[in-house]
Structure 1
Amino acid sequence: AIHWVPPLHSRDTGQINDHYLYLSTPSVDPVEVTIRDGSGASFGDSPYTVQNGAPLEIYVENGQTSGSKLMVAENELNTTLDNRGLIIESTEPIFCNARYRSNWQAEALTSKGSKAKGTTFRFGAMPISNQAGIRSFVFGIMATEEAVQVQVSNYNPQVVFAGIPTVNDDNLSFTLNAGECRVYSGYANSDANLAGMIGALIQSSGDIVVNIGNWCGSIGTGAGNQDIGADQIVPVPYLGQDHILVEGIGDSSQERGLVVAHYPNTAVYLNGSATPSVTLQPGEWYLTPNSAYTGTPHSNVYIRLSEPAYVYQFLAGSSSQSTPGLNFIPPISCGMPHSVDEIPSIQSIGSTNYSGGIFAITEENATLTIDGVVYGGGVVVDGFDGWETYRILNLTGDITVESSGPVAVGLFGSSADAGFSGYYSGFSLNIDAAFEAPDFVCWGDDATFEFSGDTLGGGVLDWDFGLLDFEDFGDDLFVASDVDPGSYDVSLHVTGDLCADSSFHTVTFYPPYSGQSAASACESYVWNGNAYSSTGIFLDTLTSATGCDSLVELDLNIMPLPDPMLVDWMSDTLVYCPVPGSLLFGVEADPLYQLSWTFWAEGSNDSIPLPSPIAASAYYGPGLYQIIYATGAPCYFSATGTIAVEIEDCSITIPNVFSPNGDGKNDRFYVDGLFSIQNARMQIFNRWGNLMFNDDDFGSSAGWDPRLTASEGTYYYILEIPILTEELAITGIGGPEIVEGPQTVIYQGSLTLVR
């Protein structure tokens, strides 16, 4: 239901005048057809309607210099064109035949539909016998998808491609997007350009469609006789090994076959011979002799290949060497149709009439009819049992060819020096049992099964759904709903007249799924695109590994950020006057933290792990203490620091004079040795009993600085010292004394402030 027709080029502008599309269909119901160029722009009066008995002749253009969609001028060669070529789409299958004419030339080119697109092709054309002023080879390429890399190689490096300027590259490389085209042509003005392009390899990274041939060409002996030979080819995967050619009514030099090899060691056998006529390597070609045609009242030839290859036929509509045509010949297929319904205006190209005829290939002893009239005269195929051919002349109008067996049909015609030929069947008719089906189906979803193969060859479909319940929606579309979980086998067998095909598929229906999951996170957690900041049980719908929706329960534990958040600190040194059972580090940590203490005794390299309470570590003597705070999973916060502990003489001296004059000496009233005792309280009064200074932990302070608040004179202090050790040496106004602990002692005295 879709056709692509790339443009071509004539070396001489006088060899192309009016050209047309001929559309027909076997459908008795109206079929809508849309036509657009490569850029997507609508063409002509699109959309059109076609139905059986009412084919369409659609005028395209006259000549190639006025923007024809199917022909390009010389200055448009070798360049990417985005508004050329035609794309024809229809709601039901149709035939699409492009026909071209001038006063001296004619040709019919049949589109191969979806079978035309592919990625690997071999070029074929007439091996031109001698140079002449209007002869050339030509090929046009159209991409059917985006960003397709195309490369053309494996041709005679002396080939020169026409254009402005010309191109003589050893290979061609270019990129095409969907609908874009390129046309290349080589004029027959050098020996390399006569046949040096035949066998060239055309490869692409994505699907393209290729038209090939000569505009004009000849394999005859005369230098002044030629005609158009052009056709659309199919990619390598659709090639075959068995081909039948039916001789036209041309001069014996024009009635030949051409084999172009793609695979190594391709042997060519004619008419069932056990000895190959030739063995070809990739890109090599062989022109079959006219003498290989056998039979009467017309002749045919059977070409058997050891490997799939391209087969072309050159045939003419009259005995003149001026009427050769070119057909790409599809292989004999077990799935060929029983009818070609219909070929429109078999004798016409526009308003010009030709003497028209057909050739047909069908099963031996089959009944062949044209428009319901039975025809005889079948000629058996030498070396290929079970097949025979027909050549029927002087036909006019729209015709339908039918057979009781598989049939392939071509047309040819001539008028004075103009001739044409076209092959109308055998390109997309293989039996194919392919069907679309899912690999798995989620709970609650439907499974759709739809035929996607090919039965145009008359195949009968036989579905087997096994234990699977289904509903038939018609047109080989089935739906299975509410299916129990499990795996089910589905098969399809398609039977044609000469061959059959089967395909199998297993579909798994998944059960309903729900699951549980657990997670721990620091502060917050993102699940299925949602953020959670608290601990709890949550439900959400997730996609499982099978691609199905699943209801999942999440058991989430959120760890809050610990407080305080510790950071690493620089090593500190603590001059310490320890007391029994004293704590080294008394800052209480957040319960989320785990503390780890390590001790290196003074003068030792051996570490000692210490008990690690939340609050602090006990004193173990002078040395290096290391603390590590860490939360572990899931937050993994941590901090570390070291404290070097030194021991000093644990004695206290209370001064009685100081001089806050800013000289850096005795500027503050401070009690040496008191820094190691916590909660020592100091009060200072003036002579009138007014409180001048008060500190409940005087040992940790910097002392009293009276420079801004007090004048010279005598002041009085009261110092309360909590003693936790067994004894403590204290020097006051009464001199040194040893005070036993534990107790709190109070010292009172005077001090003198001098400037």
Structure 2
Amino acid sequence: PGERRISVIGYYNFGERTDTAIARIDVRGGGVVQAGEDRSLEFCPADRTIDLENYLLNADSGGDWLPNSMIELDPTNSGDYLYIVSNSCSADTARLEVFIWPGPDVSLEGPDQLCAGEQGILSLEGDIDPVDSLVWNTGSIDSSIVVDQSGWYSVQIWYGEDCRWSDSLFVEVNDELAFSDSSLLCVGDTLLWRGQTITQGGIYEERSSGGTGCDTLFTLDVEERMGVEITEDIALCEGESRTIYGVEIDTVGEYRFTLSSAMACDTQVVVRVERREAISLEVEGTVCAGEVFDFRGEAYGLGGPYEIVSEVEDGCDTVWQLWVYEEQYEELAIQGPERLCAPRADLEVVGIPDAELNSSSWNTGAMGLRTTIDEPGVYRWEGESQNGCVYIVEREVAECSICEIAIPNVFSPNGDGINDVFEISSSCELIDFRAQIFDRWGNQIIESAQSDAIWNGRDYQPGV
């Protein structure tokens, strides 16, 4: 080490010229440097960055990289990377050949929308020859699978230096949409529905593709209906007119009207107008003695015919022929003995038929028109007629007294009004009586059960 000087002298026509250079020599230490071994590196693609310095073998530190040591694991970054290390005495370079496996040239293809009942095929499209192995999440190891249910489907591929590639697809299975409606079609009309012209009833269908690709079924139930025809009968009284559906009518005849409806078929109304006379009606009623018969707010106490005229707002006058019958049984009485001379006697109500009674009873407890008594007293009968009238009659039966009976031994049938007939008299009522008359020769000529006027003596000669 040290300083060295060198001088140069040059000669030329006009003289000489000199120049001097000084060199300083410095001997440094450190020896020979090492950049390491050349290497070939393979990586699987990944979303991360690596430092190539971590992959140097037997290399001195402190060198430089061309282009750089930090790279992303992307196939586009494959290539040669140089590591250069040097000092004043030596220099060395290491080459790192980096290969980042590209993903397989495949893609997951298939439908992501299916209709109910359909099947879809998911497959790997492209070059799958470099693929070492593959598996679907369904367990299949084929390059395609058949799907028919909604869900996620994924596939994994192994290639290169144990590199893995995966992709997934969500498949949605859509139900077929169905819409139904109904409509009314009047006979003779037309109906426009989804581009169709409908002229008669029935069920109509149409399919169309929806946004999901599945068909949509539209159904229309068409009911064909006849227009309704209504007949109305109206009677007008003499001199009367009436407004019908906005038309004033005062003449007998048949009129037709059409009533339109936004929600249904038109209605045809046939109005038949006829003339009506005043109405005459007959009514019968029965009134009990001493009571009144009420008819239309009026009281009628006497029997007989009545004519009543009733005026109404919506109809013709009504003439009522009313017949009122006054129910009376004038001969109603209790028939029987006035005195009780026998152990028992019968009392009977006369003057009213039993068939015309709803009920009848005695104060003896007997029912009907007849009762049997065995002691004197006041006997009362009460009955109700079928018209609801109540009748009550009484009879007093006295205690029996000694009867005086007169039997004549002579009479004079000469027509002078004195003793003209043969009769027997009694001070009391006879319960049982029988008379027989014989002539002098023993021949019976009269037999009677009546005590009065037994024989008038006619048709026989005196002395018989």
Task: Tell me whether the two structures share a fold, i.e. TM-score over 0.5.
Answer: no
- Higher percent of residues as strand: 2
Q: Could you tell me the TM-score, scaled by structure 1's length?
A: 0.20
Which structure has the bigger radius of gyration? 2
Q: With a CA cutoff of 8 Å and minimum separation of 6, indicate the structure with the bigger relative contact order.
A: 1
TM-score when normalising by structure 2: 0.30
